[in-house]
Structures are given as C-alpha cells and as structure tokens.
Amino acid sequence: MNTTPRWLDAEERRAWMAYIDFSTLLGDYLNRQLRRDAGMTHADYTLLSHLSSVPDHVLGMSELARRLKITRSRLTHAVTRLRDAGLVDRREDPADGRGQLAVLTEEGIAVLEEAAPGHVDAVRRAVFDALSREQVRQLAEIGEAIGDALHRVEAVETDPAVLPWRRR
Amino acid sequence: MNTTPRWLDAEERRAWMAYIDFSTLLGDYLNRQLRRDAGMTHADYTLLSHLSSVPDHVLGMSELARRLKITRSRLTHAVTRLRDAGLVDRREDPADGRGQLAVLTEEGIAVLEEAAPGHVDAVRRAVFDALSREQVRQLAEIGEAIGDALHRVEAVETDPAVLPWRRR
DNA sequence: TGCTAATGCTTGACAGTTCAAACATCTCGA
DNA sequence: TCGAGATGTTTGAACTGTCAAGCATTAGCA
C-alpha cells in the first residue's frame, strides 16, 4: 500500500494545471456574471434550469440531487433559499410520505428566462468561442470519461464491499 | 444588444453538461479525499504546493494570488487559516513596505509531503486513468484555450476602456 | 516637496457548503 | 403485525469564499 506513488509526468502536469486554472477562473466568472446580472449563483441557475427542463417543472429532491451531482443536504439548503426568494416551491410527494418535490414557480420561470441569454452569452465567450468544433467534441468525451471514472471511484469508497481487499 | 442569443447546439450542450457534472464531482471528490486524509481543502493543497515549488518557498501575496487565480482577499483569509495551523508564515517584504510574503514552514513541508501521495493517487484514479494519452494532451490544450479566453474576457470587463463600444 | 493616484493587503459581515446527527416514513422478513 | 434496517429529508454548527470598504505605502509628477 505504500509503494512510491506514480507522480504526474510533464504532460499530465500541464493538463492538470490547465484544468485547475481554468476551472477556478470559469467558476468565479460565471458566479460573478450571474450574481451581478441576475442575483443568483451558478449553482442556483443550474438547479432552476434542471427543473425547467422537466415535465411540469417538478422533481423529487433525491432525484434532483442526483442529477445535479450534489448532496441532499446541500440541495435542501439551496431549495430553502430559492423558496424564500419565491423561485421554487416545495410540495409533498403524494406517492411517498417521506418524499418532497421541488417545483419551479411562475416567478422562477420568469427569472430564469430573464437570466438565460446573459448566461449563455458568458458561457459562449468563455468556452465555446475559444474552442474548435473538434475540441467541443473532445471536451464532451473527456468530461464523460472522468465523470464515469468518478462514479466508479465513489462507488468503491462508499461501499467498500465492492472491493473487499481495499484498505480501511 | 438584444438580439436573440445564440443558444448552445446539441454538441455544445453535451460538452457543457459533461463539464458541469464532472467538475462538480471532481471538486467534491478531491476536497473529501484531502479533508479526510490530510485535514485540508483542495484549495489549501494547491496553495501549499505552489509555495513548495518555488525557491526558498516564499512568494509575495499578490504574486501568489495571481498564480492561484484567486482574489487577494481570499488568499489573505486562506493564509491566515494556514498560519493558525502552523503550515505557513507571514513575513514583511524587505523591498516594499506594503508587501507581505507567505512562506512555507517546516511543518507545512512535512504535511504537504505526507498528503501528496494520496492526493496524486486520487487525481490519477479520477482523471488520468480514465483518459488516453491523446486526451491528456487535448485536455491541456482545451484548458489553456479557455484560460486564455477568460483572461481576455476579464480584462474587458475590468477595464471597459479596452473596448469602448461595450455596453455598461 | 507635496499631492494624487495606484498598488498591496486586510477586515468584517454575509452567503453558500459541509458534515454529522436527527427525524420520519417505508419495506420486508420473521 | 412487529421490528429492524433502508431510504428520504432536514437541521445546525463550523468553515470557506465573496464583496465592499478601509488602511498603509509607494510612484508619478507638477
């Protein structure tokens, strides 16, 4: 277990640094843009747009958390805030007494539609205007590959039984 | 100024969703790993490793903020925390009365070296094991392209004089 | 020399996130 | 049908990051 780690080589280090740098910059940039122009976080925007893209604009909390790749706790806090702001509503799940549903309100739809053009514009400037068609495709594949890897890794760490020989 | 926005097409949307998903997962994963195994944030780790890679392990606050792509304010808070933890020290800049230097302490070096193998291992599992050599190169180029675009965009928004016809 | 602006950094209040612990409901087997 | 564990969600405290405002020092220039 304590073999020398395989350090990153020059190319990997270059890629990793580029990723850290641009993801830091991009996250900050999108948050600033949305906060300034629409009074919301990028996380808020993503949440609202997930709801808006679904029939009836309703989704169970757990399902929404899964889609957003965030913890339920974080989602609860976020929905509380968005409910206070009038953009989202809670609703009991008629099918499961434990369940809660999150619904986009009329106002939520309006605010999202108001914010969307500026946000898309920012994303375009920062990302897609800088990439070739080919790179857009590459980014999709790289992102999906890493996403899949993370799902596998998390599965292992959450449920050690999957890999019984793993330490801890 | 109020032309219809150029929405993302299918390929762009795919890339964007993949990016949002994997960057959320990856950030959380690295933070969890480092917090559990080394009691620090990924931001802390990045800060310490920047200091460690520089002669004498000293860097001015502004320069460090620039390299980390974070605000000075955020860096001040982070360095305060790391100083309280004994991993970093502050020092006056002998060359500029306003300047402050951040130095890695002996303990900081030790903690970083202790944390490094596990962190590299996590990065490898989540990222590089999932990508081909070719994709690593593509990721570097994509990252650099987006980073450059963001620098340009930020320059424009910070200093509107650069582009006098721009709104606001 | 003496201003004024630019630069370097910090501060404090607030907003968003994390983690562990709690609570409620449901499921399924004895 | 009873109880234990699984599942769904919330809570509160601690922590990290943001923003606007502030203080100190330096640079440029009349």
CATH at residue B78: 1.10.10.10
Mean pLDDT over B77-85 rounds to 96
> Would residue B98 count as lying in a domain?
yes
> Would residue B167 count as lying in a domain?
no
Q: Cβ of A80 < 7 Å from strand D?
A: yes
> Would residue A5 count as lying in a domain?
no
Residue B166 has pLDDT above 50, yes or no: no
Residue B95 has pLDDT above 80, yes or no: yes
Asked if residues A133 and A139 have their Cβ atoms less than 8 Å apart, the reply is no
Torsion of CA B113, B116, B117, B120, to 10 degrees: -160
> Would residue A156 count as lying in a domain?
no
Q: What is the pTM of this model?
A: 0.90
* 10-residue stretch averages of pLDDT, chain A, 168 residues long: 78 96 96 94 96 95 95 95 95 90 95 95 95 97 96 68 33
Q: Using alpha carbons, select from B105, B23, B102 the residue that is nearest to residue B65.
A: B102
- Predicted pLDDT at B160: 46
> Would residue B136 count as lying in a domain?
no
- Predicted pLDDT at A152: 85
> Would residue B153 count as lying in a domain?
no
- Predicted pLDDT at B146: 97
Domain that holds residue A110: 11-130
Percentage of the residues of chain A whose pLDDT score is greater than 90: 82
Pairing of strands B58-60, B100-104: antiparallel
Residue B164 has pLDDT above 60, yes or no: no
> Would residue A137 count as lying in a domain?
no
> Which nucleotides on chain D have any atom < 7 A from a protein Cβ?
7-13, 16-21, 24-27
> Would residue A28 count as lying in a domain?
yes
Top residue of B133, B150, B166 to mutate, by most chain A CBs within 10 Å, is B150
Q: What does the H/E/C string look like for chain B?
A: CCCCCCCCCHHHHHHHHHHHHHHHHHHHHHHHHHHHHHCCCHHHHHHHHHHHCCHHHEEEHHHHHHHHCCCHHHHHHHHHHHHHCCCEEEEECCCCCCCEEEEECHHHHHHHHHHHHHHHHHHHHHCHHHCCHHHHHHHHHHHHHHHHHHHHHHHHHHCHHHCCCCCC
What is the count of structural domains for chain B?
1
Residue B69 sits at the chain A interface (C-beta within 8 Å): yes
